[in-house]
Amino acid sequence: MIAWAGLGSILAAMAAAAMLAWRCFPALTGRGPVDTSRTRWPVVWLVIGAIGAMAALEGGLLFDDFSIAYVADNHRTGTPLIFTLAAGWAALEGSIVLWGLVLALFVLSAYKVMSRAEHPLTGGTLSVLGMVGLFWFGLMATVANPFAICEVASEVGCAVSAWAPWTPIDAPLEGRGANPLLQNHILMAIHPPVLYVGYVGFTVPFAIAMSSLAIGSSGFAWLDLARRWTLLSWGFLTTGIVLGAWWSYEVLGWGGYWAWDPVENASFIPWLLATAFIHSSVVQVRRGVLQTWNYVLVIGTFAATILGTFLTRSGVVASVHSFTQSSIGPVLLAFLALVLVSSLTLFALRVHLVGSPPRLDSLASREGAFLLNNLLLVVFAFVVLAGTLFPLAVEAFTGDTVGVGRPFFDRWAVPLAYCLLLTMGIGPVTPFRIARARVLWERLRTPLRVSLVIAALVILVVSRNRHLIIVTLLASFVIGAIGRHLLTLAGRRVAATGNRTLPTIVRLVRGDPGYWGGQISHIGIAILAVGISASSNLVTAGAIDLTPGDRQPFAGYELVYETPFSRTEPNRTVVGARISVMRDGRQVARLDPRLNDYGGMSGPIITPAVHSTFGGDLYISLTRLDQQGLQADVWAYPLQWMIWLGGLVTASGAAFSLAALRRRSADRSEAIRA
Amino acid sequence: MILAGVVMWGLVSGETGDRDRVEALGSRIRCPVCQGESIVDSPTPYAQDILAFVEEKVGEGWSDERILAYLEDRFDGIRLDPRFSGRTVALWLLPMAVAVSLAFLATRRLMSRKRLFDE
């Protein structure tokens, strides 16, 4: 019953997407604008179908309907509600249902925003969105059907599944349950949807760019809109990446948060390209150049999200040769090829219409800083891309295994990050057109002094680690330059108007939300950089080996093994060790590092325990626990919280810009009405 | 000026932040039975054995290069930072090629006024 409803919803959404693409297609060929009232129903049905599919899948999970193969393979009775719901996107087919739902909601909002404003690109954009929607829902309706029926049950889970909902059912009595790693932490319920909003959102700027290219309309009509949608997705993607890193840190127990593994890289490449676009679009708005380059970045960002999905969802990463075992890998690869070929062909055909005349007065200017920033970000993206694809390419062509890991990425990422921080400090206070050395020195003198003071303090008081010194120098320079700029501007206004300082600052920041939102993100990145550098360069790593009652000093703490414990929860068995954390003879925390056993084939999941303070984190991860005692890996990470804080501040910059822009355009339309 | 001097001194005399040799070396060696993890990060016994081997050889005074070469002879693609060679040339050159061509394009297209007058 649920399978029928689910598949029916998917087919309805698919038909609606096809209808949307078809009805709006004339707008792409330049045959006049489309009557947007005729596109209302396809949009509505797309949303209804997408919600129906997600609801049916969640219904199947909630009612333990093991006749659906996906439920049988990813759920078991007694799973807590939150993880039952999260199982809806914990595996391949479900994640595509969520993808489709997010896409449908984006189509709806793009339709509302653009048709209300009677934007000239509305029709073309909706047509492209319809085509992309057709692909994803088509994928669900064929090779990735989440509502496949369990035809032959095994003891737990489903042995053979069949596509057709009329297949005779052989439902297992118990399901296999989701991958234990995915039901070990609350973040797993939040992180994927947030990340997906980021990923999927890039479809909208892509569609806007495509429709603008198709009709060969140059100018800013597409850019302003594409920028806002990119900013929105970018904010979510940033948050999603930070939450993912946090999850990795809290759950995986290997003592880190970022491993440069292909799944992480897959989210980082579009982030880098979208960041480049957000910057280069400013140059187009202010100086009318880089128009063609902006198209390239938008296309590249979208293609990178498809590539990421292919890398993470086809099994290609485990081994090049495993990906053909699932039929979804080749389909995604074909879609990626189609996207690239069609969009780049269109780009090549239209580039003469949209290209902007080349003119820059000087590279020593804000534009020059933006160019440098784009160069660094794009090279960074290619480093990550090369490091991710290289092992796959080697395995595909020669059959050999090659590893490309942290040492390779770090060798590039660290100097690139230093250069980016430096650009971030100088760029935002550099004038457009041409920067006279005297003006620049005037603006940079104070922040430079401040950063030298702070770096000197770090050297004398904290550490003489070279990387940490460079990062504190650069990060305080970035924040100092922003602070000085803000105070100088505010000071001038206060002198002119006689208003009080604080309200003046607030008005100033709100008056240019694009710029100041960007500076909020820059401050976030600076905090993040200090956090990363401190926690990785000043880390203390060690191991403890204790029997109950024993104590062992570590990194200024004393760790006392009190007692082992075990308890049975509905979905898992937990065994762990209670460890008292003492400092100067006083207990400051009690930590319960654990091994969580979810039954099934995989062994227990190591779950670390973390004691966070302002100074840093103490991180304990069990490696062995039995009658004799425990062994655990322990780490002390200074300033670890700055990583999470910095990441969230970075994302909030986008939120600030969007909120302020929205309020401003609302004010403006009210003013027009009045 | 004094501050700049202090910072310069800090930078020049500062530690590079390299962890001890075994760990630094281990983080460059791929765990052969894992997915892209180094033998330092991986808890598997196989990885731990190799790490123990590295520790032993470091203790015996082998150089980093000698240990890496020894392991490379026995395992295919054991390094996580593949050395620059005919086969890995693409890995190292792709980002550099992108950087150079973008920089070239940018200065060529955006800076040349001559072209503007030609058109």
pLDDT for residue A240: 95
CB of A1 within 8 Å of a chain B CB? The answer is: no
pLDDT for residue A55: 97
What is the Cα–Cα distance from A335 to A375, expressed in whole angstroms?
A: 28
CB of B91 within 8 Å of a chain A CB? The answer is: yes
What would the two tokens of residue A437 be?
A: 């050395």
pLDDT for residue A673: 62
What is the Cα–Cα distance from A570 to B11, expressed in whole angstroms?
A: 55
Q: Distance, in angstroms, between A453 CA and closest chain B CA?
A: 6
Q: Which amino acid is at A271?
A: W
Average pLDDT over residues A639-650: 96
Q: Is the pLDDT score of A600 beyond 70?
A: no
pLDDT band at B19 (very low <50, low <70, confident <90, very high): low
The secondary structure of A618-657 as a DSSP string is EEEEEEEEETTEEEEEEEEEETTHHHHHHHHHHHHHHHHH
Contact A577, A564 (CB under 8 A): yes
Interface test with B, best of A469, A471, A595, A605 (most B CBs within 10 A): A469
B 3-22 residues inside an 8 A Cβ radius of A:
3-4, 6-7, 9-11, 13-17, 19
What would the two tokens of residue A363 be?
A: 């590279």
Average pLDDT over residues B64-89: 79
- This model of the complex carries an ipTM of 0.79
Q: Is the pLDDT score of B26 beyond 60?
A: yes
Which of A328, A311, A310 shows the shortest CA–CA distance to A262? A311
Which of A159, A165, A160 shows the shortest CA–CA distance to A147? A165
CB of B114 within 8 Å of a chain A CB? The answer is: no
Which is it for the CA torsion A659, A660, A663, A665, positive or negative?
negative
Q: What residues in B contact A407, CB-CB < 8 Å? A: 27-28, 80-81
What is the Cα–Cα distance from B34 to A252, expressed in whole angstroms?
A: 15
CB contact under 8 A, A357 and B35: no
pLDDT band at A551 (very low <50, low <70, confident <90, very high): very high
Q: Is the pLDDT score of A631 beyond 60?
A: yes
What is the Cα–Cα distance from A657 to A514, expressed in whole angstroms?
A: 5
Q: Is the pLDDT score of A372 beyond 70?
A: yes
Neighbours of A401 (CB within 10 A): 16
Chain A residue with the nearest C-alpha to that of B102: A375
C-alpha dihedral, A286 to A656 to A47 to A277, nearest 10°: 30
Q: Is the pLDDT score of A602 beyond 70?
A: no
Between these two residues, A292 and A484, which has the higher pLDDT value?
A484
CB contact under 8 A, B107 and A363: yes
Q: What residues in A contact B34, CB-CB < 8 Å? A: none
pLDDT band at A135 (very low <50, low <70, confident <90, very high): very high
CA distances in angstroms from A191 to A95, A187, A243, A371, A613, listed in the order given: 12, 6, 6, 33, 24
Q: Is the pLDDT score of A64 beyond 60?
A: yes
What would the two tokens of residue A80 be?
A: 């807590």
